[in-house]
Amino acid sequence: LVAVRSSATAEDLPNASFAGQQETYLNVRGDASLLVHIRRAWASLFEPRAIYYRVNQGFDHFKVALAVPVQKMVQSDVSGIMFTVNPVTNDKTQIIVEAIWGLGEKIVQGAITPDHYEVDKTSLELVTHRTVPQTIEMVRSGDGNIDRKVPASRIHKRKLTDAQAVEVAKLGKKLHQHYFFPQDIEWAIENGKLFVVQTRPITTITATTAKQAAVDKAVQTITGPVILTGEPASPGVATGIVNILKSAREINRIKAGDILVTDMTTPDFVPAMKKAVAIITNKGGQTSHAAIVSRELGVPCVVGTKTATTSLKPGRVVTVDGAKGEVYASSLKASSVNFAPTQAAYHAPAVTLKTATKVYVNLGEPDLAEEIAKRNVDGVGLLRAEFMIANIGTHPKKLIKDKQSHVFVNQLAEGMSKICAAFGDRPVVYRATDFKTNEYSHLKGGKEYEPVEPNPMLGYRGAYRYIHDADVFELELEAIKKVRQKLGYKNLHLMIPFVRNVREMQQVKKLVIASGLPRTSTFKLWMMVEIPVNVILLDSFIDVGIDGISVGTNDLTMLMLGTDRDNETVASDYDERNPAVLWALEHIIKTAHKRGVTVSVCGQAPSSHSDFAEFLCRLGVTSVSVTPDVIDKTRQVLYDTELKLIKK
């Protein structure tokens, strides 16, 4: 027995998934039947729904080709779908696994609401799971498939154990890394063996800035009670008139501005889905047809409500919040609802570039975080403490003397938490304070505690200062603990700057651990590489036990070239693209790869020079952290470079 599947050349483009447009045939036996089903797969290119879809997407019918893979037929005990990023929130740290009993056809159709598992992509630990009772499963019968009742002993049972969910996620992570882009994967387990039957790029990850702003505004206007809940499937908020369809044969009943309510959708529903302002289904999960197509169309969608077709009344006006999975009663009358403008107001751009090389942002001001977090950025690669400490206004030593340490801790924690909250699960890497003595002295009480140095750049700063002013460093660590442990923002990590020797890194690490912040799968310790000694003895620094390094090209370039970039007399000789600096970067990145630590570059160079970002990408840097104004420009450079590398 084999499975006959379809793979069209126009499928899975950035703005068109072609989900379900071509046919799949399971349990095909014998050469004659195989040839028949291959022809049927080819013929499915010209079914009415496929023709309609291509017309709407602007594709030439005769420039779409179809390959027909023939696979071993997996008689799955458990099957499902997996996304290597969260398809609803675009959270890149999560792998979403959904599972049902029996063959996977039912989950793809959305005919069954699946179990839902969320796995942390970095630690590969199961974060949460939700079990959904299942009463019907599809199984093989002779040469075909039948629906049968699930035995009572399995109706309420979890489809996957913790270990199995992690095993599936681990395979998904490998596929993501192999293809460089987030994947939508169909998988199956037969007699304990895991199979992948299909993988394709996720096509519905879109920019969310404009959409989210409008959604947030819309959410604030919701006043009615929640009357129905389900799975969040496609973000957005829309108000409209309930129109219940029993099957795809009724799609002509949907008018512009209606909310489409049905048991589940199939590809034949797409024309109606394009007209609807929102979609609600009884069945399905975040990987169902309704969810995928709704995200592609930018239409709010709630799936798996169980009772939408019976509890909602035709003609009633309701509001759908696709991000929360909630349906609200509305006090509006049908005649007063204005549909089209609100729907267009928050449609996101069709294409958001994704790259294997992460793009982080350099950030220091908490008030900017919410707006910047809406951009196409993977996290904060450099959170500067200096702006927040300047806002506190008083030297930390004076606050300690005046028994006001809590003021420093609370205000610093408030700034950190505002940034962590804005970025959700995306990492925020906090660089410990790197004020120089001349900068610290400007704070209230600063002159009492700061020496006057002839060259603050090379003076009392960085790791050396944390060791000798441990009481001040402990206040920073206390603020980090408050944000992580009391406020619950586990995306905050620590980076140590300006480390002059290995012994300093060892001592600072002991202080961090003693404060109650040991390295874990969710708390990473990074070190800045910005002094020539860091480059030369990099292996020894890594031996101390760190998770990542970040190259500060500003200081590294100055110290390697002996040139002060702030001195206009010699500033013309300051260039991060000097061969010596490029050699150092190549050595750093290769060493980091060899030792299994992440490597980022957070100086000004990637922001100022697109060729510099391309150079780093070709070397295999894990991430670059840039100023907010060049986020999109940097992403484009990395995207173009990665495409060239893939084609090679």
Q: Token digits for 484?
A: 């992580």
Q: Can you give the pLDDT at residue 339?
A: 40
Q: Token digits for 615?
A: 């150079």
Q: Can you give the pLDDT at residue 11?
A: 43
- Is 602 a residue of the active site? yes
224 or 133, greater pLDDT: 133
> Looking at the chain, how many residues does it have?
648
Would the pLDDT of 225 be above 50?
yes
The predicted-structure confidence for 330-371, as pLDDT tens digits, reads as follows 755 444 444 432 333 323 333 478 899 999 998 888 888 988
Place of tokens 């023709």: 51
Would the pLDDT of 476 be above 70?
yes
Provide CATH code, domain 358-647: 3.20.20.60
Identify the band that residue 432 occupies on the pLDDT scale cut at 50, 70 and 90: very high
Outline where 482-537 has alpha helix (H).
502-514, 532-536
Q: What is the DSSP string of 355-386?
A: -SSEEEEEE--GGGHHHHHTSS---EEEEESH
Instruction: Please give the backbone phi and psi of residue 184, each rounded to the nearest 5 degrees, phi first.
Output: -110, 110
CATH superfamily of 209-345: Phosphohistidine domain (3.50.30.10)
Q: Can you give the pLDDT at residue 19?
A: 46
Q: Can you give the pLDDT at residue 212?
A: 45
Q: Can you give the pLDDT at residue 143?
A: 65
Q: Can you give the pLDDT at residue 287?
A: 66
Q: Can you give the pLDDT at residue 297?
A: 75
Nearest to 443 by CA among 468, 470, 413, 407: 407
User: What are the residue ranges spanned by the domains of the chain?
Assistant: 1-73, 75-202, 209-345, 358-647
| Rounded distance between C-alpha atoms, residue 208 and residue 342, angstroms | 15
| Rounded distance between C-alpha atoms, residue 352 and residue 205, angstroms | 7
Mean of pLDDT over the chain: 84
* pLDDT > 90: percent of the chain: 45
Architecture of domain 75-202: 2-Layer Sandwich (3.30)
637 or 498, greater pLDDT: 498
Outline where 161-220 has alpha helix (H).
162-179, 209-220
Residue from 289, 301, 420, 493 carrying the catalytic annotation: 289
Residue from 301, 420, 602, 617 carrying the catalytic annotation: 602
Q: Can you give the pLDDT at residue 43?
A: 83
| Rounded distance between C-alpha atoms, residue 420 and residue 625, angstroms | 16
Q: How many CB atoms lie within 10 A of CB 418?
A: 18
Nearest to 634 by CA among 387, 314, 377: 377
Give the CA radius of gyration of the chain: 28
CA angle 51, 53, 56 (to 5 degrees): 110
- Is 289 a residue of the active site? yes
CB 481 within 8 Å of CB 490: no
519 or 353, greater pLDDT: 519
Nearest to 237 by CA among 352, 334, 324, 351: 324
What value does the mean pLDDT take over residues 359-387? 90
Q: How many CB atoms lie within 10 A of CB 236?
A: 27
Structure letter (DSSP) for residue 242 = E
CB 117 within 8 Å of CB 96: yes
Q: Can you give the pLDDT at residue 44?
A: 76
Q: What strands, in cross-sheet order, belong to the sheet with 70-72?
A: 25-28, 2-4, 70-72
Would the pLDDT of 146 be above 70?
yes
Asked if 1-73 and 358-647 have one fold, the answer is: no
The predicted-structure confidence for 62-74, as pLDDT tens digits, reads as follows 767 778 888 877 7
| Rounded distance between C-alpha atoms, residue 552 and residue 557, angstroms | 9
Domain 1-73 has CATH 3.90.1150.10: no
Q: Can you give the pLDDT at residue 296?
A: 65
| Rounded distance between C-alpha atoms, residue 254 and residue 242, angstroms | 10
What value does the mean pLDDT take over residues 371-394? 89
